[in-house]
Amino acid sequence: MSAIPRTKLAVANPLTRPLIIAVAGNPNAGKTSLFNALTGMRQKVANYPGVTVERKVGLWTLAPELPPAQLIDLPGLYSLEATSLDEQIARDALLGRAREMPTPDAVIVVVDATNLVRNLYLASQLIETKQPVVIALTMFDIAERQKLSIDVAKLGAALGVPVVPVVAKQQRGTTRLAEAVLAVIAEAESRPDRRSERVREDTTTCAQSLINRYHWIEKVVAGSLNRPHEQAKASPTERIDRVLTHKFFGPAVLLLVMLLIFQAIFSWASLPMYIIERIFNVLSETVRLNLPPGVLADLLAGGVIPGVGGVLVFLPQIFLLFLFISMLEDSGYMARAVFLTDRVMRSLGLQGRALMPLLSSFACAVPGIMATRTIEDPKDRLTTILIAPFMSCSARLPVYTLMIATFFSEQKVLGQISLGVVILLSLYLLGITAAVVVAWILKHTILKASPSPFVMELPPYRLPSFTNVGHAILMRCGLFVKRAGTVILAISILLWALAAFPRSPNGQSTASATQNAQNNDEAAAQIRNSYAGRAGRMLEPLIAPLGFDWKIGIGLISSFAARETIISTLSIVYGVGADPSGRSTTLNDALRNARRPDGSPAWTPLVGISLMVFFVLACQCMSTLAVVRRETNSWRWPLFLVSYMLVLAYVGSMVTYQGGRLLGFS
Amino acid sequence: MTLDKIPRGRIARVTAVEGSAKVTFRLMEMGIVPGAPVRLVKSAPLGDPIQICVRDYHLALRRADAQEIIVTLQSE
């Protein structure tokens, strides 16, 4: 949104220019539902300048004859004394201090009718700033059901601002809300001294004024709220909580929910992911067949199309993860999950909210890192982002499978258990252990935090709203494609160029493997002579201590775009047809039969284990780095992430290989 | 008596909120001010954090923070 000069705002007639209206309120007060009800599909998401907090802007038609107003959905806040980044942004926007954002013409304060006293705390602070304020009383239907009778007129008179009851789901009260907003703006414009009169200072921050404010609110509420006698029986929410946060059932239900989500991201997503992959493979082949061979065809078929496909392939997982997360958030269960796990997570130096991002990272770190937004404390959030890539994601599986199938198939330990399963489990455990250790180190060094209070509202359970969940998913998927997509695409093209240049002498090379044996030889020659191939050979002395030769070096280089590409690269280097499933018998045989110049086998079981350890510990994923760049808003953290994980992977792999040799393995 | 010590289900009134300014202020903004009635609803399975009911809504906080909230029990 571009900035509108302040002077112009003051002189223009308020009713002919588009108005700017902010929606503020406590978290869980029904702010998002009201915003969605007022704007419908006419909304978009932008970032606040310089920070990662998003702002949602929508169009709201207050009256048919007026241009639609810009409605700004601010992050939830409890008071103008901002503690978290979200709250600071909301406060600055409300007080007209935010950069590139004009002061709103009016503020709609969303107040939960079932929780008047605490919600009016923020409302009363905003009323004191002398901005045109209208209170939207949400959850009015629930208040009615709880037999709370609120004298809306009396409440408005005591507060000095209009109060409009609304039920967002049924669009009840939205017309009256529009009328009230127009009325307060017109009233404010008619006061000539309005702009200069506005209070722009911080509200006083001493404890006594806070207590006085609460006492004043209690008096106001006592005068306008008639509540039934203290009901003896527990609320529905408390009764549900008897099971969901029960000592034994609580963790059991949580485990089931987590399993369901994990299952969904892991297996439900695999079919749509496969379809997306196929579509892009077919597209690549079509381009290759229809364009004259050369750099352009190679760039499109080997760089651009796989690059775009490599981004879009994550969409099903992101879609499913955010479907579950927004349903859990909207229903109120997420807060319970945090309540249940906070103690365990804290012993790891994290907090309860880190559970969901870390678990989803077992499927894919990209949606997992995006899910860290629910962690309020910035240092806790950063720690979670920096350890999420240790969770063994689905892209590592093809590599593990290839190594296990090549070197450890058919072997059993302790009679019945397959050695492959034991190795696979150990790899997952290695990742988790690394995450715990690194989290501990980070929290005791560069991300050491002063103790911040853990105060979290446990909102009443509600049925998740289809509109809210739908909007949340659309927003996440759209942002992912748009922002991360551009970076990933650029890097894919770069990596393609490294493998495609300089052109091999016969000029007919293709960077991707085909079934044709002659083409395979050409492709192998091309990659050997390319920059990536040269880099692989230059790398050889460096990676020799890990047990890797230069061919594996090329694979490692290409795997930094995405882990599973090592399989297609190895296929090209060894001149066998690529099989996307990684179960290609020819590749298995090629690896087993590969020889070094001195005649010794290039691959041994120990090399296989060393490579798998490297893959557990290294952050070989451009998508992850792009998303970390986006979520932390700087290149510093993604660079730190890739470097420290690379060092760890190198050391881990070397210890494995050299240690294994000392113990007499080969 | 501090908030984390009150028997489950009993109602107590806040008399003071102590501790560091940052924590105190946050707790008071959320409605835990002197005079407010609070009720301990339950503890999480591992004993921490605890769930309290204050001003008709539920709040989770850690025991360490709850120890800074001084309360007096209401007579039954």
Cα distance between residue A401 and residue A399, in whole Å: 5
pLDDT of residue B76: 62
pLDDT of residue A279: 92
Q: Is the pLDDT of residue B74 over 70?
A: yes
Q: Is the pLDDT of residue A575 over 80?
A: no
User: Are residues B42 and A241, on separate chains, in Cβ contact within 8 Å?
Assistant: yes
Find the DSSP H helices in A138-227. Answer: 140-145, 152-159, 174-190, 194-197, 207-224
Contact between residue A147 and residue A230 where contact means Cβ atoms under 8 Å apart: no
Residues 17-76 of B with CB under 8 A from A: 20, 22-31, 33-36, 41-42, 44-49, 51, 55-62, 64-65
Mutation for A interface: B3, B22, B33, most A CBs within 10 A: B33
Out of B24, B58, B65, whose CB is closest to A454? B65
User: Are residues B25 and A340, on separate chains, in Cβ contact within 8 Å?
Assistant: no
Among A3, A9, A106, A81, which residue's Cα sits nearest to residue A49? A3
Q: Is the pLDDT of residue A44 over 90?
A: no
A61 Cβ contact list (under 8 Å, min separation 6):
A68, A69
A243 Cβ contact list (under 8 Å, min separation 6):
A249, A250, A253
A488-493 mean pLDDT? 72
ipTM summary value? 0.94
User: Are residues A83 and B22, on separate chains, in Cβ contact within 8 Å?
Assistant: yes
* A342 neighbourhood in chain B, CB within 8 Å: 44, 48-49, 60, 62
* B61 neighbourhood in chain A, CB within 8 Å: 453-456
pLDDT of residue A248: 92
Contact between residue B40 and residue B11 where contact means Cβ atoms under 8 Å apart: no
pLDDT of residue B58: 93
Q: Is the pLDDT of residue A196 over 70?
A: no
Q: Which residue of B has its CA nearest to A212?
A: B33
Please tell me whether the overall predicted TM-score, pTM, comes out greater than 0.90 for this model. Answer: no
Band (B60; pLDDT cuts 50, 70, 90)? very high
User: Are residues A118 and B57, on separate chains, in Cβ contact within 8 Å?
Assistant: yes
Contact between residue A582 and residue A568 where contact means Cβ atoms under 8 Å apart: no
pLDDT of residue A371: 80
A156 Cβ contact list (under 8 Å, min separation 6):
A135, A162, A163
* A348 neighbourhood in chain B, CB within 8 Å: none
Q: Is the pLDDT of residue A15 over 90?
A: no
CA angle at residue A503 from A500 to A506, to 5 degrees? 130
Amino acid found at B64: A
For A34-38, A411-415, A479-483, which range has the lowest pLDDT when averaged over its residues?
A479-483
- Span A409-421, pLDDT tens digits: 777 777 777 888 8
Mutation for A interface: B8, B18, B58, most A CBs within 10 A: B58
* A340 neighbourhood in chain B, CB within 8 Å: 44-45
Tokens of A300: 């499109």
Q: Is the pLDDT of residue A581 over 60?
A: no
Q: Is the pLDDT of residue A7 over 50?
A: no
Q: Is the pLDDT of residue A495 over 70?
A: yes
Band (A210; pLDDT cuts 50, 70, 90)? confident
Q: Is the pLDDT of residue A101 over 90?
A: no
Contact between residue A513 and residue A568 where contact means Cβ atoms under 8 Å apart: yes
Cα distance between residue A170 and residue A188, in whole Å: 30
pLDDT of residue A519: 60
For A88-97, A137-146, A539-548, which range has the lowest pLDDT when averaged over its residues?
A88-97
Band (A145; pLDDT cuts 50, 70, 90)? confident
Across the A:B interface, residue pairs with CB atoms under 8 Å apart total: 110
Cα distance between residue B64 and residue B51, in whole Å: 13
How would CATH label the architecture of A20-226?
Answer: 3-Layer(aba) Sandwich (3.40)
Per the listing, tokens 């605490």 go with A118
pLDDT of residue A16: 65
Band (A205; pLDDT cuts 50, 70, 90)? low
Band (A3; pLDDT cuts 50, 70, 90)? very low
A254 Cβ contact list (under 8 Å, min separation 6):
A336, A337, A340, A341
The radius of gyration of chain A's CA atoms, rounded to the nearest angstrom, is 29
For A2-11, A91-100, A225-234, A244-253, which range has the lowest pLDDT when averaged over its residues?
A2-11
Cα distance between residue A564 and residue A580, in whole Å: 9
Among A264, A265, A241, which residue's Cα sits nearest to residue A253? A241
Q: How far is B48 from chain A (nearest CA, A)?
A: 6
Cα distance between residue A665 and residue A663, in whole Å: 6
Which is higher by pLDDT, A74 or A47?
A74
What three-state secondary structure class fits A70?
A: strand
- Span A291-313, pLDDT tens digits: 888 788 878 887 778 777 777 87
Band (A512; pLDDT cuts 50, 70, 90)? very low
Q: Is the pLDDT of residue A48 over 70?
A: no
Q: How far is A340 from chain B (nearest CA, A)?
A: 6
Tokens of A522: 């050409």
User: Are residues B47 and A343, on separate chains, in Cβ contact within 8 Å?
Assistant: yes
pLDDT of residue A579: 43
Bridge partners, A55 (sequence order): A46
Beta strands in A187-300 (DSSP E): 225-226
User: Are residues A457 and B48, on separate chains, in Cβ contact within 8 Å?
Assistant: no
Cα distance between residue B45 and residue A246, in whole Å: 7
Q: Which residue of A has its CA nearest to B50?
A: A339
A645 Cβ contact list (under 8 Å, min separation 6):
A389, A390, A617, A618, A619
Q: Is the pLDDT of residue A267 over 70?
A: yes
For A407-421, A425-439, A650-664, which range has the lowest pLDDT when averaged over its residues?
A407-421
| Number of helices and strands in chain A (H, E) | 31, 12
pLDDT of residue A509: 42
Bridge partners, A397 (sequence order): none
* B41 neighbourhood in chain A, CB within 8 Å: 238, 241
* B56 neighbourhood in chain A, CB within 8 Å: 114-115, 117
Distances (CA, A) of A7 to A12, A185, A239: 9, 17, 56
Cα distance between residue A372 and residue A439, in whole Å: 15
Q: How far is A142 from chain B (nearest CA, A)?
A: 14
Q: Is the pLDDT of residue A52 over 60?
A: no
pLDDT of residue A580: 45
CB neighbour burial string for A201-234, b if at least 16 within 10 angstroms, e if fewer? eebeeeeeebbebbeebbebbeebbebeeeeeee
Band (A143; pLDDT cuts 50, 70, 90)? confident
How many Cβ atoms sit within 10 Å of the Cβ of residue B39? 16
Amino acid found at A185: I
Distances (CA, A) of A100 to A5, A506, A650: 10, 56, 46
Mutation for A interface: B30, B39, B52, B68, most A CBs within 10 A: B30
User: Are residues A78 and B49, on separate chains, in Cβ contact within 8 Å?
Assistant: no
pLDDT of residue A227: 80
Q: Is the pLDDT of residue A326 over 80?
A: yes
Band (A203; pLDDT cuts 50, 70, 90)? very low
Out of A210, A340, A459, whose CB is closest to B28? A210
Contact between residue B36 and residue A211 where contact means Cβ atoms under 8 Å apart: no
* B49 neighbourhood in chain A, CB within 8 Å: 339, 342-343, 454
pLDDT of residue A452: 66
Bridge partners, A20 (sequence order): A70
Percent of chain A at pLDDT above 90?
Answer: 28
Strand order through the sheet with A133-138: A43-47, A54-60, A69-73, A20-25, A106-112, A133-138, A163-165
Q: How far is A119 from chain B (nearest CA, A)?
A: 9
Q: Which residue of B has its CA nearest to A344?
A: B46
Out of A117, A118, A453, whose CB is closest to B27? A453
Q: Cα dihedral sign for A286, A565, A319, A271?
A: positive
- Span A598-618, pLDDT tens digits: 888 889 999 999 999 999 999
Tokens of A172: 């009840």
Out of B24, B42, B59, whose CB is closest to A457? B59
Which is higher by pLDDT, A380 or A587?
A380
For A195-199, A225-229, A232-236, A505-509, which range has the lowest pLDDT when averaged over its residues?
A195-199
CB neighbour burial string for A540-572, b if at least 16 within 10 angstroms, e if fewer? eeebeebbbbbbbbbbbbbbbbbbbbbbbbbbb
Task: Calculate the average pLDDT of chain A.
Answer: 82
Q: Which residue of A has its CA nearest to B56?
A: A115
User: Are residues B24 and A207, on separate chains, in Cβ contact within 8 Å?
Assistant: yes
* B68 neighbourhood in chain A, CB within 8 Å: none
Q: Is the pLDDT of residue B16 over 80?
A: yes
Q: Which residue of A has its CA nearest to B45?
A: A247
- Span A386-405, pLDDT tens digits: 999 999 887 788 788 888 88
User: Are residues B33 and A210, on separate chains, in Cβ contact within 8 Å?
Assistant: yes
Mutation for B interface: A455, A457, A458, most B CBs within 10 A: A455
User: Are residues A453 and B58, on separate chains, in Cβ contact within 8 Å?
Assistant: no
User: Are residues A78 and B29, on separate chains, in Cβ contact within 8 Å?
Assistant: yes
What three-state secondary structure class fits A413?
A: strand
User: Are residues B65 and A205, on separate chains, in Cβ contact within 8 Å?
Assistant: no
